[in-house]
Structure 1
Amino acid sequence: MKLVGLTGGIACGKSTVSKLLVQAGIPVLDADRIAHSVTEKGRWGYRRVVAAFGPTILRSDGEIDREALAALVFHDAQQRRRLNAATHPAVGAELARLALLAWLRCRPVLVVDMPLLFETGFARLTSPNVLVACSPAIQLQRLRERDGLAQAAAQARIAAQMPVEAKRRLAGVVLENDGTQQELRAQWVNGSEAAAQSS
């Protein structure tokens, strides 16, 4: 089974590519969804996050207040490292379980959609590693429009991630997403064919 990595900067269009893959019948493991799942109340990841940050990050129903936690970690690198240390073991275990299931079902290709593909070192397990990128100006504009953020808040969220230019140097395939969804789809098709021929 070929394990393909998919990543991108915030608001660069990674989720659009992920949806295109699912529409094409290609299985995708979404690391963000897995992280949300393993940190639901009562699960291992939930207990680790509460142990790391204390009960003040919980809502009245006992679930994690994800908006408050996101606001905390986006502005503090040390808090981001604490959150990653709390969640990554549980996410990794669930990814491994789901990848094993895909292998047992004889899936020829499995795509792992992971924002921190390079930062976590998971890229060593995937090939090719596909980056969805766009220009800084378009990234900022899309993020502000998508999340309704002021410019300073959007810039802070972008600055909290590894720069897209640094990711370009690590990626095996780069999809430039400054244009339309149709143009992005065409790049994915061409890149997939090139990857298949080189494998």
Structure 2
Amino acid sequence: MITLGLTGSMAAGKSTAGALLEAMGVPVHEADAAARAAAHLLPAAFPAARYPSIYRRGTLDRRALARLALTDPAEAARLEALIHPHVRAAQARFLVRHRRAGARMVALDVPLLFETGADALVDATVVVTAPPFLRRARALARPGVDAALFAAVEARQMPERTKCARADFVVPSGAGRAALARGLAVLVGRLTREETGALPLFPFC
């Protein structure tokens, strides 16, 4: 079974790429979804008495916690130490399940693939890219995202150019969903030895 590591900078089109891979029959595990599933652990680690700014009407606001982690490296480390083991365990269960089911290929969607060393878990890596102006516009169109948050996420993540240099494959999303789908189809074909076509040019790295 081939395991593909899927990543990309904020609003590069990684989630769209994951959905397209699933439509092609490639099971995809989302690290963000696994992290959300572990959210019940957060209130004990970040109690309201100590962190009143991240609570709204008595309930922990995950977006506020994310902003705190982006601006405070110590809190980011605490959050990661709490959540990452649960994400890794979920990834391991996913891989075992699909290997037993006879899957030819699966993908791990991990926003911080290289930053967390998760690239060591996969056979090949792909970075989805888009021009910086387009990524910024996409990000600012999302609820709760402003220019400051976008800048904070960009500062925390590995530069896109560095990701591209480390990746085995780079697929651009700037030309639209159809072009992204074609690029991913070629990639899947290459990895499963069914296709030898060229990947799209101009990956914006």
SS at match of 1:192: helix
Question: CA, structure 1 residues 4+81, in 2 after alignment: closer, same or farther (shift >3 Å)?
Answer: same
TM-score (norm. length: structure 2): 0.83
Identify unmatched segments of 5+ residues in structure 1. Answer: none
Q: Counterparts in 2 of 1:3-42, with a 5 A limit? A: 3-39=3-39, 41=40
Q: What is the Cα deviation at residue 133 of structure 1?
A: 0.9
Q: Separation in 2 of the partners of 1:61 and 1:108?
A: 46
SS at match of 1:19: helix
State the match for 2:134 in structure 1: 138
Q: What is the Cα deviation at residue 51 of structure 1?
A: 4.9
TM-score (norm. length: structure 1): 0.86
- Report % sequence identity: 34
- Per-residue CA deviation, residues 58-104 of structure 1 (Å, 9 max, x unaligned), is 66566x42122012112223322221111111111121122111112
Q: Separation in 2 of the partners of 1:6 and 1:144?
A: 23
Counterpart contact for 1:132–1:176, Cα < 8 Å: yes
**Are residue 92 (structure 1) and residue 88 (structure 2) matched?**
yes
**Are residue 114 (structure 1) and residue 107 (structure 2) matched?**
no
Q: What is the Cα deviation at residue 172 of structure 1?
A: 0.4
State the match for 2:2 in structure 1: 2
**Are residue 74 (structure 1) and residue 67 (structure 2) matched?**
no
State the match for 2:190 in structure 1: 194
Counterpart contact for 1:75–1:160, Cα < 8 Å: no
Q: Separation in 1 of the partners of 2:147 and 2:84?
A: 30
Q: Separation in 2 of the partners of 1:84 and 1:28?
A: 22
SS at match of 2:123: coil
SS at match of 1:197: coil
Q: Which amino acid aligns with 2:30?
A: D
- Per-residue CA deviation, residues 24-66 of structure 1 (Å, 9 max, x unaligned), is 2221111100111122x2xxxx1xx44543344566566x421
Q: Separation in 2 of the partners of 1:152 and 1:92?
A: 30
Q: Separation in 2 of the partners of 1:126 and 1:149?
A: 31
Q: Which amino acid aligns with 2:102?
A: C
* Stretch moving more, 127-136 or 140-149: 140-149
* Stretch moving more, 129-138 or 49-58: 49-58
Q: What is the Cα deviation at residue 21 of structure 1?
A: 1.3
* Stretch moving more, 148-157 or 180-189: 148-157
Q: Separation in 1 of the partners of 2:171 and 2:161?
A: 13
Q: Counterparts in 2 of 1:46-61, with a 5 A limit? A: 46=41, 49-55=42-48, 56=51, 57=54
State the match for 1:175 in structure 2: 171
Q: Separation in 2 of the partners of 1:149 and 1:50?
A: 23
Equivalences, count? 190
SS at match of 1:91: helix
Q: Which amino acid aligns with 1:65?
A: D
Counterpart contact for 1:140–1:155, Cα < 8 Å: no
Question: CA, structure 1 residues 143+85, in 2 after alignment: closer, same or farther (shift >3 Å)?
Answer: same
Q: Separation in 2 of the partners of 1:25 and 1:65?
A: 35
